[in-house]
Structure 1
């Protein structure tokens, strides 16, 4: 295993661990799969599905040979993350107009979001280095995941959160896990820049998506989808885009599976951003070579409220490799899609619902056809942002097509019948 820079092609040994190349490009973990037997791995992965108590019961460490083979077992951290549901829902299928879709509910992770898949590997790597201070800048999900794993191994998490456009639920979850939370005036992007500059003098190990081991863990989401579907992936994988680490990770996972012969073809990837925070979509739509940051991103989907996504180059490579596309959706489209997902008995936070909103929009525009199939990645739990729920259902929010208000009534049979 080595660290590789896609920008300038430099390589570094793991013992020279760093977050970025000397040229400024982000690094990724490079692995040699040439000696792996895919049939043997499939058997091993299937056997581990029956495990319950070892680290390999994890939906991440089940695939250790593809994620971090060199990590000693004593350093493996786990809360049996992954193992999340892959569901079909008639209401959602009808809403999007496609023949068949699945919802991959990363909301069922221990901290309630997809961040656990990547965070468990980053924290395990930090533990193997003997470090005891972990940090991130976050709009919420990253912070709660880091706080959970840090407390699990009795390490301290230092979390930086912007004062605006975040969900208090996520911050309270982070506080409850025991992290030291520092709220600051500024954006997510400014928080990342601060940590990149000052982490050495503060003695902090960064667990944001600039950490290449985060990406290695998040690859497991696509591995798990493929295994659950008997290694036959659908036509499309639809992903929400904030920092763009998830689409980068899933793209890397798809490349792994194809190179190893686990899958026969690559599905296309659709990346969905909120209109108020869509610098990557604008770059791709305008066929530009460089991303122009949005200094004041603004969307009700707090996990997407990022104006300068650090992983945009990796995300662009994923779309190029998979003949992928991008789309942006309004907050109203996000919230109405969320209501459909919630009322299907599945539920998700607003950022997750952007995938269903985006799929519906892409079908309506003819980009995705009715006879195609798709998996939508749902990244966060229904209760990650209860303020959004309150406004949509109880305050008659603008454009709320599927609001379900609380009915007031006396305990009178005649009144109850009329409700």
Structure 2
């Protein structure tokens, strides 16, 4: 098993000590031969595995082991039965978007509450196969919670670097509960990533951020499962929020493989949504540039999107080029309103997830997406990942709060039908 630099094409081994980028600075992709794979036979196997219990193949990631990490021994795999998340339609969501049909793929239903679990099970398992016992990440929250959970379950040590500001306390508390050694620092997510790129090898740490191509291999399963859920016929559009852009990197690799193997007949179009005040990738793409200019001071209420220099941007750009994709940015108020619509639909999500629906609604109004087309939005994080956002909207009336739902006092001794 080896990786390849997406910039210069140099092959690189995936072994200890791990390299997470090429000497030229380019990002790495795992490369393996897909020759001889029978798509129809794998479809049958994947369907049979849905019924399995008590096996790693019951996982919504390891069900697709042949396409993710066939060389990993089952004995090293750390799985919490991740994936197997719901695909939902909610009338209010579809109406809000202004489209004929909208699905929500709720990666928020993963065991740690976010889409990061799909990739983390693969990264941790690969690190164990290489003999690592100390796992690390820089994070705005979801990555650290996922890493902490899998490391604890696998009997390993986790270290997470978290910015002191502009993060969700709920996610930090998750990491503490799972026993992670949490280290806070002055600076941004980007500063933490730079530190790990420079010092992880010296410190004997296995990095679990999206710089690690094995994380991306696991996250590919989100698109595999979406396609399988939809009987291998994807919608016209897939819409996802863009923070570090690892989800976009994984989606691109999955779609290329699904299409080349014949699992799907056509590639959907892709829309990547960023928060207006944390949108360096959108600004680059909208401006027709090929080089990203980092935002030194990103600031959005959707804390998972609060990233000024997304490390996976070259892979995300490749995805847009291959799918005739688009980008869009939305204001925090739009994100919070879309979150409330998803919450009211009985599904729920954290603010960053709702950026997908907010962006889709804006693209429909701009005429980029036609109302008769179909779309799937990826919900990346659970409703309870950021309870402060709920309090601010419903109790304090912030972010416009046009659908505010504060509690009202009631006198139970005299309560009428109108009161209840």
* TM-score of the aligned structures, taking structure 1 as reference length: 0.99
Structure 1 unmatched ranges of 5 or more: none
CA distance in 1 between partners of 2:418 and 2:233 (Å): 49
CA distance in 2 between partners of 1:399 and 1:173 (Å): 29
Q: CA deviation at 1:414?
A: 4.2
Contact kept, 8 Å, 1:329 with 1:357, in 2: the verdict is yes
Runs ≥4 residues deviating over 4 A? none
CA distance in 2 between partners of 1:369 and 1:250 (Å): 22
CA distance in 2 between partners of 1:196 and 1:416 (Å): 62
Measured on the aligned residues, the alpha-carbon RMSD in Å equals: 1.0
Contact kept, 8 Å, 2:15 with 2:130, in 1: the verdict is no
Aligned residues: 419
Contact kept, 8 Å, 2:410 with 2:419, in 1: the verdict is no
Q: CA deviation at 1:415?
A: 5.8
Alignment partner of 2:369: what SS?
Answer: coil
Residue 93 of structure 1 corresponds to 94
Residue 83 of structure 1 corresponds to 84
- Please say if 1:396 is aligned against 2:402: no
Contact kept, 8 Å, 1:4 with 1:29, in 2: the verdict is yes
CA distance in 2 between partners of 1:405 and 1:46 (Å): 45
Contact kept, 8 Å, 1:409 with 1:415, in 2: the verdict is no
Alignment of 1:177-326 (within 5 A): 177-326=178-327
Q: CA deviation at 1:416?
A: 6.2
Q: Deviations over 1:269-304 (max 9, x none)?
A: 000000010000000000012100000000000000
Q: CA deviation at 1:197?
A: 0.8
Structure 2 unmatched ranges of 5 or more: none
Alignment partner of 1:367: what SS?
Answer: coil
CA distance in 1 between partners of 2:270 and 2:366 (Å): 16
CA distance in 2 between partners of 1:341 and 1:327 (Å): 19
CA distance in 2 between partners of 1:307 and 1:84 (Å): 29
Contact kept, 8 Å, 2:337 with 2:402, in 1: the verdict is yes
CA distance in 1 between partners of 2:413 and 2:92 (Å): 33
- Please say if 1:13 is aligned against 2:6: no
CA distance in 2 between partners of 1:408 and 1:183 (Å): 40
Contact kept, 8 Å, 1:137 with 1:159, in 2: the verdict is yes
Residue 67 of structure 2 corresponds to 66
CA distance in 1 between partners of 2:5 and 2:399 (Å): 46
CA distance in 2 between partners of 1:406 and 1:15 (Å): 55
Alignment partner of 1:392: what SS?
Answer: helix
* 396-405 or 335-344, larger mean C-alpha shift: 396-405
CA distance in 1 between partners of 2:309 and 2:325 (Å): 21
